[in-house]
Amino acid sequence: MDATIIGRLVARYTSRASNVPKQNPDSNLNLSAPYRIASGARYVKVDGNATIASTYCMGKGSRNSRVNNTLVIDVSGTLNINANIGYGTRAGSTCREDTYTSLAELPQLIVFAGDINIKGNVNYIDAWLVVGQGEQPGRWSGGTGNINTCSDVANWAGLDSTKCNKKLVINGPVITKKLTLNRTAGAGNQPYNGMWSPLTNSIQAAEVFNLRPDAYLWAYNQGQRYSQAVTVYLQEKAPRY
């Protein structure tokens, strides 16, 4: 993706203001009462590492176009994703799909992080994953810009078909410098019994990345929310004589 477009995404959906509340680093994120930034998006900021420890379901928003049904997670260090993240209504440990009657109801989660580590038990993530964009003007983040789809193992040590063998589906744009694809789903880890199972042999993809229409529809609706340009940041320049 063009660096200018990434810069605009970062500028519109993050905040450099000093009064933005920040959650404690090296702890579980609290996504229930985030701060609202100028674009109207709900905003969770952490200087350091953070963890999403339990299943998070993002329900549909209001049809009021002034209400922005967007959640932004901005982590300067490593974000550890230890559970499923989905759009819909919470139903036990999963997210039940909702029915939408307006573009304004569509939810969208945008994640900015230095690195992302995904545990092997995670099945799906509905989100934009923007990783390693610390070189954007006025923005700093640590890490190497890597998304690891199975952080249960380190540097492939001991990785075999009995580990990280659940399929991972990511629904949303992915912008990163590096992908470590450690999933082993479909590696044929079941004993041969005269017939290969389509669920266990190598015809199945271990990681699936989908760019669904809801991301485009949400982006279109974001552009319609205001009739004028929105100031996303200010930068002072030295006087010219």
> For residue 198, what pLDDT band results from cuts at 50, 70 and 90?
low
Mean pLDDT of all residues in 119-123: 94
Tokens for 173? 């744009």
Q: What is the mean pLDDT of the chain?
A: 83
Report the C-alpha gap between 100 and 60 in whole angstroms: 7
> For residue 188, what pLDDT band results from cuts at 50, 70 and 90?
low
Q: 20 or 201: whose pLDDT is higher?
A: 20
pLDDT at 40: 82
pLDDT in tens, 33-61: 789 887 888 999 999 999 999 999 998 87
pLDDT at 210: 96
pLDDT at 140: 58
> For residue 129, what pLDDT band results from cuts at 50, 70 and 90?
very high
What does each C-alpha distance from 219 to 9, 15, 44, 90, 236 come to in angstroms?
A: 11, 19, 20, 24, 30
Length of the chain: 241
* CB atoms near residue 155 (< 10 Å): 8
Q: Structural domain boundaries of the chain?
A: 3-224
Burial class (CB in 10 A: 0-12, 13-18, 19+), 133: buried
Report the C-alpha gap between 152 and 159 in whole angstroms: 9
pLDDT at 200: 55
pLDDT in tens, 64-109: 655 578 999 999 999 999 999 999 988 877 888 888 888 888 999 9
pLDDT at 154: 77
